[in-house]
Structure 1
Amino acid sequence: MLLKLIILLLIQNQVQAGKVPSSSSEEDGSSEHDDEEHDRSSSHEHHWGYHDQEAWMSSFQDCSGKSQSPIDIETSKAIYDPNLNLIELEGYDLTGGPHLTLLNNGHTLLLALPNTMRIVRGFDEVYLAAQLHFHWGTIEVPGSEHTIDKVHFPAEIHMVHYNSKYANMSEAANKPDGLAVLGGFIGIGLHENENYEKILSALTDVSIEESNTQIPSFNVRHLLPNNLERFYRYNGSLTTPPCFQTVNWTMFNDTITVSRKQLAALENTLKAGQNQHLSKNFRAPQLLHGRRVLSSFSSSPSVDNRNVDVPLETEPFKRSGALGELSRGDILAIAFGVLFAVTLLVFSMYAYQQRKKHSKLKKDSRQNVIYKPGTKEEV
């Protein structure tokens, strides 16, 4: 199998289209066996889809667990933890390296990554990259999996890594410390995102389910937000069957933006099943069941500007902080603005009183003049 050969060359396991092995899934990025082996595998292997998410729980035991993902991140309840180590990446710049494999597996658009890409700081262990993939909706229905204060973004990117203490993704997938996923919210901006175009420009080559193509390598770091210092952290699961509860999630606060045209290409190009559009491939938010959501920063972000249709002026778009984060310059500007407004109000009131007083004096002076018609003699 061509895909299997590519995976062996990349020294990692990837997802086989439309099949869910007992130890992995589309989310964790591991690949298992051909059709014959699939038929002989465990009863945990089932076809699944996003239209029947309730059925996942009956077919995959972990999908009914109490540490499931995605979740809604309530910013007011996120706990600031100053001890969270910042994320440090190594080997993400693949420019000039071997071509990368892009795959439509019927569930998502997936890019296989070499395990030379690593998270070297931020966790107790070093985590090696396996793959990245996307979740999206339609022009009417934003398709991020995680939400912020119940607000969905147009799309979401997941970069999947496995603990370097394990031999590969398959071995790590069901271990408590096995996986670490870096997630980013994708919004809509005014301009085309050149970094995302390196992937999206090849969509027509993988429009059919189970198709794959090769794309030139590039700096994968540019797919993530510029600022990696502000993020949320919680323990969760794969967001697809078999829903193993083994993922240490990092969701970055700042948003990546693509153009409306680029997002539309992702929403409308890929096919799954019987020539159906591959869209709305996101799982509904799951209950926290008492889990804590930590944050690397002390204040909650604002969601006022999270538009799904209105272009944003900056790229990538950085969501504004709370009022508590105003700089000294902002505070001075507000103070001068208020002072100017008060001064203008006092001046207006003074001018009104003077005008009223002048009008009254003029009226009184007119009342003191006695009109006396002229006589002929006087004329």
Structure 2
Amino acid sequence: MFKAFFILLFLHGLVLNTFSSSSSEEEDDDGSSKKESEEHPLKGHGVHWGYEDQAAWSSEYSHCSGKSQSPINIDSRRAVYDPKMPPITLEGYDLTGDDSALTLLNNGHTLQLSLPNTMHIVSGFDSEYRAAQLHFHWGTKEVPGSEHTIDNVHFPAEIHVVHYNSKYADLSKAANQSDGLVVLGGFIGIGLHENDNYEKILAALTDVSTEESNTEIPGFNVRHLLPNNLKRFYRYNGSLTTPPCFQTVNWTMFNDTITVSRRQLAALEETLKAGRQQHLNKNFRTPQLLHGRQVFASFTDMPTGAGRGRLGGFVPSPGSSDFLSRGDILAIAFGALFAVTLLLFLLFAYLQHKKYSKIREDLRQNVIYKPATKEES
């Protein structure tokens, strides 16, 4: 029992050390980090940029060092409830049966779906905003890839639906205007079941696996890509999360998560390529400093289910265990195994002690005391 205990203890430490080193190498490996997705049709004015060199973005794009950059970490405990924020109303999002197909593009930065400007936000903001495109941010199985975080928690992926102010001719004209853009963002988590709505896009991934490839998919109800509840959200003023980082975005991040299956997310993480043979993944910018900006919330009530945050706390979404790396999971497993082994060892030691105590007691009971006689003395 002693040998088994110390052997297991040795193996426990060895495995944890191995996976800890492996996880560190994965995080330091910039070779698999790909370019950041675009929020607008401008392509960096011809200057190459990528996620791996985001610290150098400001040398070419001055806005990237501004004080109102995105994404951010949303501290749910500090978000200010604003009862005056009107609910968001969407129109034209149901494209089912629409004769015009939607163009799906792998632009080397992200997976992007072009949207017709008949889709628009009719209430929730001071102006009407028309849809232009939607795209995704994701990581790998070991590294969750959402851009925004809630209470420093990263989600596996994030969807952005980009809209521009209807008073401007198009997205490119609105991109550098102070009231130009509205982005609706949603956190994507891991669920137990396939998401049929996301499958309408993911089923076409092999057709756009190479950079700059595109395909057409039939219209569907884009509304179903967002959470069911659009009344619970956070809002703040920020920027494009890619060069040129214009600080012209009114961000709305929905509180409730959308879920896809592990298989569906793996398809997004592993199918697309950027460049020749490099995987397109980890296409997210790190959270930026608030610099005194205020984050507002449209709700104050307690959560009623998984994946719903609140002011004063955050509840992880279904499948949140997928946010853990393999090393973390193994550490937990071996930690539990170590604890069980230690308990068994202590129980064994206790039983042995009890056994030998009983033997000694029995031996004492079998000794007959006989007083010595004078002669014997």
TM-score normalised by structure 1 residue count = 0.71
Q: In 1, distance between residues paired with 2:193 and 2:181?
A: 34
Deviates more, 1:258-267 or 1:51-60: 51-60
Deviations 1:209-246 (A, max 9, x none): 00000001100000000000000000000001110000
Alpha-carbon distance change, 310 to 169 in structure 1, aligned in 2, over 3 angstroms? same
Residues 74-115 of structure 1, C-alpha deviations (whole Å, 9 max, x = no match)? 000000000001100000000011110000000000000000
User: Higher relative CO (CA 8 A, sep ≥ 6), structure 1 or 2?
Assistant: 2
The partner residue of 1:274 within 269, 273, 276 is: 276
Q: Are the structure 2 counterparts of residues 294 and 304 from structure 1 closer, same or farther at C-alpha, using a change threshold of 3 Å?
A: closer
Aligned pair in 2 of structure 1 residues 311, 138: CA closer, same or farther (>3 Å)? closer
1:295-336: per-residue Cα shift (whole Å, max 9, x none)?
A: 000252643434666479xxxxxxxxxxxxxxxxxxxxxxxx
- What are the within-5 Å matches in structure 2 for residues 115-130 of structure 1? 115-130=117-132
Residue of 281, 301, 305 corresponding to 2:316? 305
Q: Percent same amino acid among aligned pairs? A: 72
User: Secondary structure of the residue that 1:160 maps to in structure 2?
Assistant: strand
The 1:100/1:44 distance shift into structure 2, 3 A limit, reads closer
Q: Find 2:244's aligned residue among 223, 227, 242.
A: 242
Q: Tell me, yes or no, if the aligned pair for 2:38 and 2:109 is still in contact at 8 Å.
A: no
1:231 maps onto 2:242 in alignment: no
Computed over aligned residues only, the root mean square deviation of the Cα atoms, in angstroms, reads: 1.8
Distance in 1 between the 2:179 and 2:186 partners?
A: 21
Corresponding residue to 2:40 among 17, 25, 29:
29
Q: 1:65 is aligned with what amino acid?
A: G
Distance 2:320 2:300 in 1: 29
Q: Distance in 1 between matches of 2:73 and 2:42?
A: 29
Check whether the contact 1:105–1:210 (CA below 8 A) recurs between aligned residues. yes
Q: Is the 8 A contact 1:112 1:132 kept in 2?
A: yes
Question: Partners of 1:155 and 1:261 in 2: how far apart?
Answer: 13
Residue type at the aligned position of 2:117:
N
Contact (CA 8 Å) 1:44, 1:60: kept in 2 or not? no
Verify: 1:88 aligned to 2:99, yes or no.
no
Q: Does 1:69 align with 2:70?
A: yes
Question: 1:275: Cα distance to partner?
Answer: 1.2
Residues 265-274 or 296-305, more deviating: 296-305
Distance 2:162 2:212 in 1: 20
CA-CA distance at 1:27 after TM superposition: 3.1
**Which has more helix, going by share of residues?**
2
Give the alignment partner of residue 146 of structure 1, picking from 124, 131, 148: 148
Q: Give the paired residue count.
A: 279
- CA shift at 1:45, angstroms? 3.2
**How far apart are the structure 2 equivalents of 1:230 and 1:260?**
26
CA shift, 1:30, in A, is: 1.9
Q: Structure 2: which amino acid aligns with 1:268?
A: E
State TM-score, norm by structure 2.
Answer: 0.71
- Paired amino acid for 1:235: N
Structure 2, unmatched stretches of 5+, are: 1-34, 302-309, 324-377
CA gap 1:250/1:162 in 2 versus in 1, 3 angstroms: same
Per the alignment, residue 260 of structure 2 pairs with 258
Q: Which secondary structure state, in structure 1, belongs to the residue aligned with residue 263 of structure 2?
A: helix
In structure 2, how many angstroms separate the alpha carbons of the residues matched to 1:263 and 1:54? 28
**What is the Cα deviation at residue 121 of structure 1?**
0.3
Contact 1:190-1:311 within 8 A present in 2 as well: no
Q: Is contact 1:129-1:161 (8 Å) kept?
A: yes
